[in-house]
Amino acid sequence: MNDGYNTYLAKSYRFFSFEVLFNTIKNRSLRFKRVDKFNDPLDNSPYLASNEWKHDKEQGDGSLGNFLKKVRYDKISKELESLYICCFCKEYKSDDSYLMWSHYGLSHSQVCIEIDFSKYTGLSTPSEVIYPKNLVEKRNNILKHKKESIGLFVVTNKLRQWSYEKEVRLIVDIRTPNIDLEKFKLCDNSYSLDADFDLESISKVIFGIKSELSNEIETRKLFLTNGLTPKYEKMYIDPNTLKLESKPYTFDKAAPPTNWNKQCGAF
């Protein structure tokens, strides 16, 4: 997509499990998820694409599946199935980031990477997610005045409850004319897409507060194997402010001392 939405060119952060990060480095690919597989049922929903849903009085057991005209819903759903998204966050150590580390960093035990989107090249360019005060009013206004693309509205607008994510999205439409089919492959019954990824766009790696030393060392090893030396940081809680902070991590003190058992007691 090349449009007014694809304008975010600052640094962003993607939270990973270490397993997914290791696969990302080894395969040099970034995983995108098909838009109908997100955890929020209103995210990328056909309901955002129309305000003409009507009750189907001829079919009626009261269930949602029979309550609305299914033909239109199914048609819009099918059109959305060509869209894949990879999600990032604008921050990693703000008050809201505490929730991101808790949810997507698996209780602060995993990792996130920093990407400078001003240097990124890939299948698409990043779009900021918008969290309107009233999602219904905005949808109806777009449908009425047609000043914006309803399709772009669907994939870049979310409920305000999700605003703590401060999300940035890479959006790929595999039906785009002249898209380079060699740069991605579909996986998991087409539920996800793996796109070629330049590891040099990773400028920093940030370890969660509870990340394990073995995973941290393996991360550096994999980057070094690929000739890369991104900056490293480790998260911590400032005991005075009780805020989430980070500090440089150089690995020079990563290994425990030889008298570790004597210092801490054998377990």
- For 24, 165, 219, 232, the CA distances from 251, given in Å and listed in that order, are 22, 30, 11, 9
Q: Is residue 252 part of a domain?
A: yes
* Residue range 168-220, pLDDT digits in tens: 999 999 998 888 889 999 999 999 999 999 999 999 999 999 999 999 999 99
- Residue 265, pLDDT above cutoff 60: no
- Residue 238, pLDDT above cutoff 60: yes
Quick one: pLDDT at residue 2? 39
Quick one: pLDDT at residue 123? 83
Q: Is residue 216 part of a domain?
A: yes
Calpha distance 21→29 (Å, rounded): 10
Selection from 98, 94, 101, 80 nearest residue 38 by Cα: 80
Calpha distance 165→103 (Å, rounded): 10
Which among 25-34, 45-54, 76-85 has the top mean pLDDT?
25-34
Calpha distance 142→139 (Å, rounded): 5
Q: Is residue 84 part of a domain?
A: yes
Higher pLDDT, 248 or 257: 248
- Residue 251, pLDDT above cutoff 80: yes
Quick one: pLDDT at residue 118? 87
Quick one: pLDDT at residue 257? 39
Quick one: pLDDT at residue 62? 46
pTM: 0.85
Q: How many domains does the chain have?
A: 1
Q: Is residue 80 part of a domain?
A: yes
Q: Is residue 2 part of a domain?
A: no
Q: Is residue 5 part of a domain?
A: no
* Residue range 30-72, pLDDT digits in tens: 999 999 999 999 999 999 998 887 655 555 444 444 555 566 7
* Residue range 130-178, pLDDT digits in tens: 999 999 999 999 999 887 788 889 999 999 999 999 999 999 999 988 8
Quick one: pLDDT at residue 254? 53
DSSP assignment string, 107-168 = TTTSEEEEEETTS--SSS--EE-B--S-HHHHHHHHHHH--S-HHHHHHHB--GGGGGG-EE
Calpha distance 167→18 (Å, rounded): 21
Quick one: pLDDT at residue 55? 58
Quick one: pLDDT at residue 4? 47
Are 153 and 143 spatial neighbours (Cβ–Cβ below 8 Å)?
A: no
125 is written with which tokens? 């360019």
Q: Is residue 261 part of a domain?
A: no
Q: Is residue 16 part of a domain?
A: yes
Selection from 125, 84, 85, 88 nearest residue 104 by Cα: 88
Q: Which band of pLDDT confidence, cut at 50, 70 and 90, is reported for residue 5?
A: low
Selection from 146, 165, 178 nearest residue 2 by Cα: 178
- Residue 1, pLDDT above cutoff 60: no
Q: Which residues form the domain of 49?
A: 11-256
Quick one: pLDDT at residue 178? 87
